[in-house]
Chain A
């Protein structure tokens, strides 16, 4: 199996997708379906962020900008034009890619602290544009009026089941694509830059070009996540592009583990589940979430999946050592 990692990843993705798609045939649960739809958006958002944070060592605080931009441009394209849904989604992702190229061109040459702040500032600039450009975006009320119902291939995405299937397919394909990118030679280059940028530069890697490429790819996939988010809320809201949203993505990445590809997905699953359970039981969501974060940060000091993998590897090493004796 080890020699065909791409085949293995594709198999895992197909099985996961099949399981998700089969579940509603046996049991319909609106809460669960909602959860998967939101998870699809969040998983793309967090995993694309981890291409920067975990793979390349670029901590972006402004990733929410591309999530928000994807959502707004998709929703606006649907409202203002007669284009079909897939075309609008592709246009939205393309627009995010262009925006990421522009923002990245400014940011990627900066040192790591400043990179974090400028990406945050870019996001806040974008956020204030959304708030102040009321005629287009609806200001702080958000973009209302819904997304026009347009069927694709006999699908009507205003039906929850169809949106569930669509989101799951888009998210799994997106994650698979990201997985291929991170497993490719380009992904290895990014990890080399993270570990030792001087050495990478000596080996002929053009640092800014590799970083900019990673930034643009990550932005594009965040935009795709934003499209799903817009479909779920049937519109777009400034909160999608606000900085607590970027904070959530960073937290999902950290919670799940930055060293594992599926870490951000696991983090997003835990975070969303926690969100649902805690908001149902108490109004002090921040208090509970904060304590959980502290417990993870001080207790594990790494993401859940990273911790489990290390624990597993240690167990294996011990077993191996025992056998050798």
Chain B
């Protein structure tokens, strides 16, 4: 615990800016992963433990695409598209086979997929850490805001994630597909009875969730290193985010992700060894006093 350092940081504008931006990028990446997770849970009631794998594979696909085409835009798009496809295949070939049976079976399948693809990544890309490096377009001097250093890529990353959050929120609220998804979250069989192809809808939801995780992986690749186990840590954290925000709530995921991001950003200064512990403790407190999460609706 080093609360003096935290107090000093909070007193200087530059430190606040730096820690807030680093907190925001953590939060935004978490949001992208957690949004897919919460969407899939909301509609399909599947707790996708393999979601971290989507994120990891997205990062690696972006890494290779950038190396081949040297276009970062293309790398991001390729990662999102590849993971959308992967999500559909995962749902159709594996998860769809155990709908209706014990929930533990879904868990087991996800666990297997996590184990398999961690090793597949080791075989294809090697067990070592990879650094993608900053894409050439962003190798420019950082911005200075109130004395704090903000790399331009961070600003772009936060912007993209914010736009996606907006698009997702508006899409769910305004479009016909969004309305269908919300209806399916409440009662999927009834939506099917009304003549909507729920099989297709489920696949689309998994594709969107996969694309978001792939995108997050691609956006994270320049600022974090790539390694076979990287899906694990983000998975646990995005679970915490979905639970704090309320399972199935996109707005909740956004707020909780930013909360966890900022807790992490400032926690590294105040209590570097116990930031993880703080986050778990926050989740436990939320669940004890508001079990449905901040934005969740109380069921049962």
Residues of chain A at the chain B interface (Cβ within 8 Å) = 53, 59, 106, 110-111, 113-114, 117-118, 120-122, 124-125, 128-129, 131-132, 243, 247, 250-251, 254, 258, 284-287, 289-291, 293-294, 296-298, 301-302
Q: Do A125 and B116 touch across chains, with their CB atoms under 8 A apart? A: no
Stretch at the interface among B104-112, B147-155, B250-258: B104-112
15 A-B residue pairings within 8 Å (CB atoms): A110-B291, A111-B300, A117-B283, A117-B287, A125-B284, A131-B273, A132-B274, A254-B104, A284-B119, A287-B116, A290-B114, A293-B108, A294-B109, A297-B108, A298-B98
Given contacts A111-B300, A287-B119, A293-B111, contact A125 B277 (CB under 8 A): yes
Chain B residues 272-300 with CB under 8 Å of chain A are 273-274, 276-277, 280-281, 283-284, 287-288, 291, 299-300
Q: Do B236 and A124 touch across chains, with their CB atoms under 8 A apart? A: yes
Nearest chain A CB to B299 CB, angstrom units: 8
Q: Kindly state the separation between the CA atoms of A55 and B184 in the bound complex, as whole angstroms.
A: 32
Which B residues lie within 8 Å of A302 (CB)? 102
Q: Do A128 and B104 touch across chains, with their CB atoms under 8 A apart? A: no
- CB-contact partner of B236 in A118, A131, A243, A285, under 8 A: A243
Q: Do A298 and B109 touch across chains, with their CB atoms under 8 A apart? A: yes
Nearest chain A CB to B244 CB, angstrom units: 10
Q: Do B115 and A287 touch across chains, with their CB atoms under 8 A apart? A: yes
Given contacts A286-B118, A287-B119, A290-B116, contact A128 B276 (CB under 8 A): yes
Given contacts A124-B276, A293-B111, A297-B105, contact A114 B243 (CB under 8 A): yes
Q: Do A284 and B123 touch across chains, with their CB atoms under 8 A apart? A: yes
Q: Kindly state the separation between the CA atoms of A193 and B299 in the bound complex, as whole angstroms.
A: 20
Nearest chain A CB to B113 CB, angstrom units: 7
Q: Do A113 and B47 touch across chains, with their CB atoms under 8 A apart? A: yes
- CB-contact partner of B112 in A128, A131, A294, under 8 A: A294
Which A residues lie within 8 Å of B112 (CB)? 289-291, 293-294, 297
Q: Does B103 contact A (CB under 8 A)?
A: yes
Interface pairs A-B: 5 shortest CB-CB: A290-B116, A290-B115, A286-B115, A287-B119, A293-B112
Q: Kindly state the separation between the CA atoms of A93 and B283 in the bound complex, as whole angstroms.
A: 27
- CB-contact partner of B277 in A117, A132, A247, A290, under 8 A: A132
Which A residues lie within 8 Å of B122 (CB)? 284
Assign chain B's interface to a size class. Answer: 35 or more
Given contacts A110-B291, A298-B97, contact A132 B109 (CB under 8 A): no
How many Cβ-Cβ contacts under 8 Å join chain A to chain B?
108
Q: Kindly state the separation between the CA atoms of A128 and B277 in the bound complex, as whole angstroms.
A: 6
Which A residues lie within 8 Å of B47 (CB)? 113
Residues of chain B at the chain A interface (Cβ within 8 Å) = 47, 94, 97-98, 101-105, 107-109, 111-116, 118-120, 122-123, 236, 239-240, 243, 247, 273-274, 276-277, 280-281, 283-284, 287-288, 291, 299-300
Q: Do A117 and B243 touch across chains, with their CB atoms under 8 A apart? A: yes
Nearest chain B CB to A117 CB, angstrom units: 5
- CB-contact partner of A294 in B94, B107, B288, under 8 A: B94
Given contacts A121-B240, A284-B119, contact A297 B277 (CB under 8 A): no
Q: Do A117 and B98 touch across chains, with their CB atoms under 8 A apart? A: no
Closest to A61 in B: B107
What 12 additional pairs, Cβ within 8 angstroms, besides A59-B103, A121-B240, A293-B109? A59-B104, A113-B247, A124-B276, A132-B274, A254-B104, A284-B123, A287-B119, A289-B112, A289-B115, A290-B111, A291-B112, A298-B94
Q: Kindly state the separation between the CA atoms of A129 and B278 in the bound complex, as whole angstroms.
A: 10
Which A residues lie within 8 Å of B97 (CB)? 298
Which B residues lie within 8 Å of A293 (CB)? 108-109, 111-112, 115
Which A residues lie within 8 Å of B102 (CB)? 302
Q: Kindly state the separation between the CA atoms of A254 and B115 in the bound complex, as whole angstroms.
A: 16
Nearest chain A CB to B39 CB, angstrom units: 16
- CB-contact partner of A132 in B101, B273, B283, under 8 A: B273
Nearest chain A CB to B264 CB, angstrom units: 13
Given contacts A293-B111, A297-B105, A301-B98, contact A110 B277 (CB under 8 A): no
